[in-house]
Amino acid sequence: MDKIRAAAAAGRTSFGCWLTLSDTVAAEIMGRAGYDWVILDTQHGGISWNALLPVMQAFDLGGTRALVRVGWNDPMQIMRALDLGALGVIVPMVSTAAQARVAAEATRYPPYGVRSFGPVRNYYAASGAAVLEPLCFVMIETAEAMAHLDEIAATPGVDGLFVGPVDLALALGLGPALVMPEPVLEAVLRVGETCRRHGIISGCAALGMSNAQALAQAGIQFLPISSDGGLLRRGAAADLALARGWPQGSVAAF
C-alpha cells in the first residue's frame, strides 16, 4: 500500500511538497527530505514534459513517489504521466461528475476505464503481481464543483477530492486570496465531510504552515505543506536578512 492510502486508512494525514523546478539534482535532494510524496506541477510549474521522466527518476533515487498535476483534464496527459511512472494524477478544474468520469477512466485499464496499455516503467511489482491502481485526485476549485460534490465523489475510480483554494476563492468572487477566507475554509471542511461519507481521500493545497496545521487538525488527509520554490526563496531571504543584521567594520568580533 502506498503512503497516501496507508495514512488515509489509518485516519492520518500524509504530507507532501509541490515541485515546480525541473532540476534533477534539486529533485533528488527534495526526495531525501522525508516527504510521504511529492506533486510534480506541470500545470503552473516549470516542469516540462521533456523533464518529467528524469525528475521522476531523481525522486525514485530519493525514495519518494511522485504524483503529477496535469495541465488539464486531458486523457492523453493523464495516461502519459502514468506511463512514465507517476503514483497518480491530480486533475484540475473538475466541476461535474461527467468531467470526473473522464479523469478517472483515463487512469484505469478496460473494463474499468479507457487507459491504453503502454507503460514505460513501474507497471509490475518485483513479485510479478500487478501494482496498485494509480491514484486519481480531481480538483475542486469552482462554484459548480461545490454544487456537485456528492456526484463527483461518487464517481467510480475517483480516489480523492483536492481543493484548489485560490481558484475556488476567485470562483466565489473573493479575489486571489493568499490567506484562506472563511467561505473557502467552510468549503474545504464540506469537501472533507463529503470524502468521509464516500470513503475517499480529502486533500487541499495549504496556504502557509499555520493553514496546513489547521487543515490537518480538521482531518484533511492529503496535504502539500510547502513547495521547492517557496523553500528556496524563504531560506535565501532568511539567510540574507540575518547577514544584513551583522555588525560591520570591526575586527573585535574575531
57-66, 114-123, 137-146, 156-165: which has the minimum mean pLDDT?
A: 114-123
Query: Model confidence over 22-48: pLDDT tens digits?
Result: 999 999 999 999 999 999 999 999 999
198 is catalytic: no
pLDDT in tens, 152-180: 999 999 999 999 999 999 999 999 877 89
Per-residue model confidence as pLDDT tens digits over 54-88: 999 999 888 899 999 999 999 999 999 999 999 99
SS3 sequence of the chain = CCHHHHHHHCCCCEEEEEECCCCHHHHHHHHCCCCCEEEEECCCCCCCHHHHHHHHHHHHHHCCCEEEECCCCCHHHHHHHHHCCCCEEEECCCCCHHHHHHHHHHCCCCCCCCCCCCCCCCCECCCCCECCCCEEEEEECCHHHHHCHHHHHCCCCCCEEEECHHHHHHHCCCCCCCCCCHHHHHHHHHHHHHHHHHCCEEEECCCCHHHHHHHHHCCCCEEEEEEHHHHHHHHHHHHHHHHHCCCCCCCCCC
Does 131 score more than 70 pLDDT? no
Model pLDDT, residue 179: 87
Q: What is the pLDDT of residue 127?
A: 47
Is 60 exceeded by the pLDDT of residue 129? no
3-238 folds as TIM Barrel (3.20.20)
Threshold 0.95, pTM exceeds: no
Q: What's residue 63's pLDDT?
A: 86
Instruction: For residue 43, give Cα distances in angstroms to 28, 92, 132.
Output: 21, 8, 25
Q: Where are the domains of the chain?
A: 3-238
Which pLDDT value is given to residue 22?
93
Q: What is the percent of the chain where pLDDT is above 90?
A: 84
**Mean pLDDT throughout 92-103?**
98
pLDDT at 126 over 50: no
Q: Which of 9, 33, 44, 236 is catalytic?
A: 44
pLDDT of 251 reads 62
Among 114-128, 200-214, 229-243, which is the least confidently predicted range? 114-128
